[in-house]
Amino acid sequence: MKILITGAAGFIGSHTAEYFAQQGHTVYGLDNFSTYYDPILKRLNKADLEAKGVEFIEIDLMGDLDTHMPADFDLVFHFAAQPGISATTTLEEYVRNNIYATQRLLDWTKQYNPELKLFVNIATSSIYGKEATLPETAVPTPISFYGTTKLAGEQLVMGEQRTGKIKACSLRLYSVYGPRERPEKLYTKLIKSIFDGEPFPLFEGSERHSRSFTYVGDIVKAMAAVPGREEVLNGEIINIGSDYEYTTGEGIALIEKIIGKKAQLQKTPPRPGDQLRTTALIDKARKLLDYEPDTDFEEGLRAQVEWYRSKFLR
């Protein structure tokens, strides 16, 4: 198959691109290498992926796709987004990168990929709101710019599907962790702070927040199950995550155990828009994708610590 993966130099997109390339598919990775975090980290991912046969297209989705993009893809996996809940990211940036850019990609896809089997939108549990403990049929109530704009992007995709202009589905991911996790995310930031002997800023009360922490390799299993199921998935919205919950405090304790050193926790004011609890209800994923996350939480965190050692402590 010929597969396009947007945001392919990022955390989850890079793992997905790597998997499909290793399976012998023709994989194109699109990324704009934004400065949201140090682009050097994404260029390390790019080098790893190019060595495995992924061909990269460096372009912003709001740029001239007509001129610079190949066409006739079988599958599109749309990971590219303005990520996270950040006080320094403006609403305009979220709207541009999660709404306008998604529609630009949809317009290009419809024009240049008439035989597309499926457009796979990558969404988030932040769509559900303060407590993401709901099935896919629940009415979303997002509480952050990120969740709100990701919901809008999802609805743009599914609107095109509902009007018969494209075949599409949306996968809502839950609290993904593992090797290549972004530097501002919980575990990479925690691991770095412990190794560097620096204070780790912990949002007040967040140690009690519970999450369906999901190892990136288990997320890739869901992506890997898409080829061959395009007709079944068309029109569906599906939760993808682990159905085991752990508190942030439990995760911190495991990282301390793995590294053998305590974190210097520094309490900071609560973060607006943060979720209190997420629980991935994945019955639908089990039914439609034969999806079964099976990575033990500690095992996954050990893999992330070892990745960090190999990349940044040599």
Active-site residues: which are they? 146
Tokens of 127: 């769509």
**Structural contact between residues 43 and 33, judged by C-beta atoms closer than 8 angstroms:** yes
Q: Residue 159, class by beta-carbon neighbours within 10 Å (0-12 exposed, 13-18 middle, 19+ buried)?
A: middle
Alpha carbon distance 267, 276 (integer Å):
17
Around Cβ 277, how many Cβ atoms within 10 Å? 15
> How far, in Å, CA of 103 to CA of 287, rounded?
30
Phi, psi angle pair for 27, to nearest 5°: -115, 125
Q: In angstroms, rounded to a whole number, what is the distance separating the alpha carbons of residues 225 and 288?
A: 9
Task: Report strand pairing: 168-173 vs 237-240.
Answer: parallel
b/e per residue, 85-113, with b = 16+ CB within 10 A? bbeebeeebbbbbbbebbbebbebbeeeb
What gap in Å lies between CA 185 and CA 69, rounded to an integer? 31
133: its two tokens: 């403990």
State the Cα–Cα distance between residues 9 and 29, nearest whole angstrom. 7
Query: Which residues lie below 8 Å from residue 259, measured CB to CB, with a gap of 6+?
Result: 191, 194, 195, 305
Which positions ≥6 away from 210 have C-beta within 8 Å? 245, 246, 247, 248, 276, 277, 278, 279
